[in-house]
Amino acid sequence: MSLLALLLACSGPDRPAGPNVLLLTVDTLRADHLGAYGYDRPTSPHIDELAASGVLFERAVSPRGATWPALTTLHTSWPPVRHGVRANGAPADPAAVHLAEVLGERWRRAALLTNAYGASWEGMGEEQRFDTGEERDAAAADAAERWLGEVTGPFFLWVHLVSPHDPFVVHPGGYDPVDPGYTGPVDDGQGPLVRGMYGAPAFTEADRAAVVARYDAEVAFADAAVGRILAALETSGHAADTLVVLAADHGEELFDHPPYLFHFHSPYDGVLRVPLVFAQPGTLPAGRRVRTTVALADVAPTIAELLGIPPSQAWLGRSLVGALRGRTLPDRPVYAEIGRQVLIVYEGSLVWLENPASFAPPLAPPLQLDQAGVPTELRELRFPIPQNGLWDLDADPTQQVDLARARPADAARLQAYAAAWRRQLGWPGPEAGAEPSLLTREALEAMGYLAP
């Protein structure tokens, strides 16, 4: 056999990945706070190593800065307007087809969840919840170690970690970039974060640095859990036969657009852009980086194709396997939303935003305001979102300069994509409280996906 033939036999373009799948998702993980995405603090040695061993997508977009809607899109390859989970706590349309269902009985399927329990994770045979304490990512890693140590045969293990979600805690013995001389109000609690957003009192520069340092400590804590799970995969002997996928549900505003600090009501890239890595050394190439804008809805079709399994015909995302194998992936519009209020369209480095009703969300829900003791007279403060805007993320990654007037042709093109989304998906969809599954079922029948 020639050397070339030998190489092709070992890593041929059509060699299936898997058969095992380890899906790691991290709540509230900003891509640009990871070394693999250019961050200058050592927050993520294990995620960086994973990324270097596989293929990294530089611009992967979440459909919503909220846990349930985003993770439901990852698992069902449907946007929120279709699967119906427009906010945390909403049920998914029963017609949504989950990746775990497509894998089926041949795979042992389990979810180890530190957040987003109670959502409909169809097809996941086993579910363990870790719902108390700031150390619950460590508990989930413990459980993953045990699970990987005993599993045999094909498996699909999903672990969802949560440390970077507020409040921002520095873990004893963990990475701690907080200035030891800091004496301000920011601590392990959520209260100072909420009060700071409302200016009670306003964040100082030192407070802002403390918030970001604490967020980074939480990223490092999640990264340590990722490292332990990947080490357990090696020890289990399954690593060579396991496709590892790492993603996040959404990021965090931090201080890109004051006064808002969190994620749920942000339409911006610090929240919508998420890390996305596919790795299986020996099967997928190492060290490849893909610049094309992709979506969380693309994850399920990609995993299915990599495993050699037919995708669900209902799925709306596209397989990224061509890009994983080194082919050029053409840009196409990628969509996100804030519920029924704000529609966002990505194309390449451009982002277009429409907020037709001038939605200006509150910075925090009433319960958090009460707990934080925000004075009544300050509670009317809102997060101002423009009626529309156009940004070029290559030149302006935190979206400070609206280019809609300067680049009318680009604005018109992305506006046309938004109009197409409204037409084809029925965005913004039914009012909250309506029965979302009815419309979706009708639409599916009309498209031939369901028998009437």
Residue with smaller CB distance to Zn ion, 238 or 265: 265
Q: Smallest distance from the beta carbon of 178 to Zn ion, in angstroms? A: 23
Options 244-252, 309-317, 339-347, 440-448: segment touching Zn ion (CB under 5 A) = 244-252
Q: Smallest distance from the beta carbon of 68 to Zn ion, in angstroms? A: 8
Distance CA 113, CA 115 (A): 5
Distances 325 to 13, 17, 54, 322 between C-alpha atoms, Å: 6, 12, 11, 5
Count helices and strands in the chain by DSSP H and E runs: 14, 13
Options 77-85, 249-257, 350-358, 410-418: segment touching Zn ion (CB under 5 A) = 249-257
Burial class (CB in 10 A: 0-12, 13-18, 19+), 400: exposed
Options 170-178, 241-249, 341-349, 395-403: segment touching Zn ion (CB under 5 A) = 241-249
Q: Smallest distance from the beta carbon of 230 to Zn ion, in angstroms? A: 22
Distance CA 208, CA 97 (A): 42
Residue with smaller CB distance to Zn ion, 93 or 249: 249
Conformation bin of residue 373: beta by default, left when phi > 0, alpha when psi is -120 to 50:
left
Distance CA 419, CA 426 (A): 10
Residue with smaller CB distance to Zn ion, 167 or 322: 167
Name the residue among 339, 380, 165, 163 with its Cα closest to residue 254.
165
CA angle (447 as vertex; 444, 452 as ends), nearest 5: 60
Q: Smallest distance from the beta carbon of 84 to Zn ion, in angstroms? A: 18
Q: Smallest distance from the beta carbon of 408 to Zn ion, in angstroms? A: 36
Interaction between residue 67 and Zn ion (CB under 5 A):
yes
Residue with smaller CB distance to Zn ion, 27 or 223: 27
Give the per-residue contact string, 89-108, with Zn ion (x = CB under 5 A; - = no). Answer: --------------------
Interaction between residue 137 and Zn ion (CB under 5 A):
no
Chain position whose Cβ is nearest to Zn ion: 67
Residue with smaller CB distance to Zn ion, 18 or 84: 84
Interaction between residue 25 and Zn ion (CB under 5 A):
no
Residue with smaller CB distance to Zn ion, 27 or 48: 27
Interaction between residue 253 and Zn ion (CB under 5 A):
no
Paired strand residues for 61: 273, 295
Q: What is the DSSP letter of 312?
A: P
Residue with smaller CB distance to Zn ion, 214 or 250: 250
Residue with smaller CB distance to Zn ion, 137 or 249: 249
| Residue keyed to tokens 């041949």 | 106
Residue 398 sits at φ, ψ, to 5 deg, of -100, 10
Helix, strand or coil, per DSSP, at residue 24: strand
Largest separation between any pair of C-alpha atoms in the chain: 79
The C-alpha R_g of the chain, in whole angstroms, comes to: 22
**Which of 19, 26, 27, 56 is close enough to bind Zn ion by CB under 5 A?**
27
Q: Which residues of the chain form contacts with Zn ion (CB under 5 A)? A: 27, 67, 249
